[in-house]
Structure 1
Amino acid sequence: MAEILPEELALEAACRLLEAGELVAIPTETVYGLAADATNGDAVARIFEVKGRPRFNPLIAHVADRKMAERIAIFSPLAARLADSFWPGPLTLVLPQGEGSSVHPLVTAGLDTVAVRCPKGFGRALTAQLGRPVAAPSANLSGRITPTTAEAVNASIGERIRLVVDGGPALVGVESTIVKVAGDSLVLLRPGGVASSEVEKVAGLALQREVKGVEAPGMLSSHYAPDAQMRLDIDTVEDGEALLAFGPNRAGNAQKAVMMLNLSPKGDLREAAANLFSYLSTLDATGATTIAVEPVPRQGLGEAINDRLSRAAAPRDTLRGKD
């Protein structure tokens, strides 16, 4: 298994490994990421190999600040306003690539755009120390439950990498919101850690939501999937099911569940987002054939939670294991 180091002791070691073309699992405020030097094609290729990830799915280039982002992407006044309002934080912007961008084509999947984000905490410090962008999708086998702790990373891919940096449980618990800035319009590619309404308030524009094709991470229909099947928005629990609950009121026959975990007994969507992936993993480990999920409101962070749940519940016969 990989060595696990607390983040306060891991910066130099992680940077040395990235410089050498190795991969490092790192904490961010959203989820744990599998980091590689975004300018090193061999290192980026290793991300796909370790995760079993299809190469047509682009990666996010993590940066230390907007100045670093401007070396690889073209910022319109609207994009700059969003970056200045939400960075560092869980908002990814999909922007036109800048001329002479150093990001390897594997990161962008051959597109003429690049996804950029400035994370909080260790991820930002590591990128600043390295001095160039870091590609970092979720640190798990592709298509499986996203890790929000160092232990979950080690259980998933610890035999395939050398170092996992432990920053404790991820605070946000779902991936970043991804917004494509196209001229004076905004397209929501993936709901996430920043509520759509917050983006719209800063931008003064409504987010468009009709997207064709894969333009950013997490857009395949089957994603974040446990071994168990999933039933969403249930009102009754069936025999042998595990129950992912939400709020103070229970579905019928909840006592029949082989295990129940409540995303947030008080109905707090931030708490629910932070618990989502770890609770799915725990329920999946019971061996239940189905995880029944109580309804979660769709406003605010509920949009991101429901997006992840619907992808986890999607048919898997052709897309299983891809993200």
Structure 2
Amino acid sequence: MPSDTPGDDARTGVDDDAVAAAAAAIGAGDLVVYPTETVYGLGADATAPTAVDRVYDLKDRPRDKPLSVAFGDVETALSLLPAGDRATRFARAFLPGPVTVVVARGDALPPELTDGGSRVGIRVPDHPTARELAAAAGPITATSANRSGAGSVRRVADLDPRIREGVAAVLDGGETPGGRGSTVVDPERGVIHRAGPLVEEVREWLATQP
């Protein structure tokens, strides 16, 4: 059974002890729900194939749909993944923020995240709870906390019962600010895979930066 863990943080409604408990759950191989600046996310240890498999199973997500990965800060992400110069500059320009940056996966993350594909999306959410959790337990999976094909969730009350029962903790930060998923972009290849927040700024950057 999951445990809702509201706290007294005026910014998010989630206190540090709740985040620490959620991070410990992730370290033990469990899944948690956490708030971001867009929608609620489903977090697990992104370096553990068994935990990644649990995310796919809980969401009923097809394996050919890659999972993105959240980090506590940009430099940690860039230190683990072999991002090229253009991707590095793009990430520093747009993260933290509602943008997923696609880079080479390298050897630090398991192939289960991407169905064996060589590229993976990285997130540094513009949300203190998400970054605190990712810093403590990360890298963690960054996928919406909903069943595949269903709408994304901005309030804990709207979580699908299967999701709620399948996680060890729910970090309730209130209603999330944004209702759309992040913009997904591969800056090295100049491709926007999904349009969302800041997409016009992303297009301008891709068009003007070498």
Give the TM-score of the pair, scaled to structure 1.
Answer: 0.59
In 2, Cα distance between the equivalents of 1:176 and 1:14?
23
Secondary structure of residue in 2 paired with 1:25: strand
**Correspondent of 1:59 among 40, 63, 67:** 67
Judged with a 3 Å threshold, the aligned counterparts in structure 2 of structure 1 residues 154 and 2 are, in CA distance, closer, same or farther, namely farther
Aligned residue pairs: how many? 200
Percent of pairs with identical residues: 37
**1:37 aligned counterpart, secondary structure:** coil
The residue number in structure 1 matching 2:130 is: 123
Q: Deviations over 1:115-155 (max 9, x none)?
A: 1111122111111112x311121111111111111111254
The partner residue of 1:18 within 16, 19, 26 is 26
Residue-by-residue CA offset, 1:179-208 (whole Å, 9 max, x unaligned): 0123xx4101001122x22013334449xx
SS at match of 1:169: coil
Q: Does 1:106 align with 2:112?
A: yes
Q: Which residue of 2 aligns with 1:177?
A: 183
* Residue in structure 1 matched with residue 44 of structure 2 by the alignment: 36
1:189 paired to 2:197: no
1:165 aligns with 171
Where 1:166 maps in the other structure, the secondary structure is coil
TM-score, normalising length from structure 2?
Answer: 0.88
1:122-161 correspondence to structure 2 within 5 Å: 122-130=129-137, 132-153=138-159, 155=161, 157-161=163-167
Amino acid corresponding to residue 53 of structure 2 in structure 1:
A
CA contact (8 A) 2:78 2:88 kept: no
Question: For residues 44 and 30 of structure 1, what CA distance do their matches in structure 2 show?
Answer: 22
Counterpart-to-counterpart distance in 2, 1:79 and 1:45: 28
Match of 1:201 in 2: 204
* Unmatched 5+ stretches in structure 2: 7-13
Cα RMSD for the two superposed structures? 1.8
Supply the distance in 1 between the matched residues of 2:150 and 2:44 (Cα, whole angstroms): 20
CA contact (8 A) 2:58 2:162 kept: no
Aligned-partner residue type, residue 31 of structure 2: L
Matched, 1:84 2:92: yes
Larger relative helix fraction: 2
The secondary structure found in structure 1 opposite 2:44 is strand
| Secondary structure of the corresponding residue to residue 158 of structure 2 | helix
**Gapped runs of 5+ residues in structure 1?**
207-323
Q: Deviation at 1:47?
A: 0.5
Task: Indicate if the aligned counterparts of 1:92 and 1:178 stay in contact, CA closer than 8 A.
Answer: yes
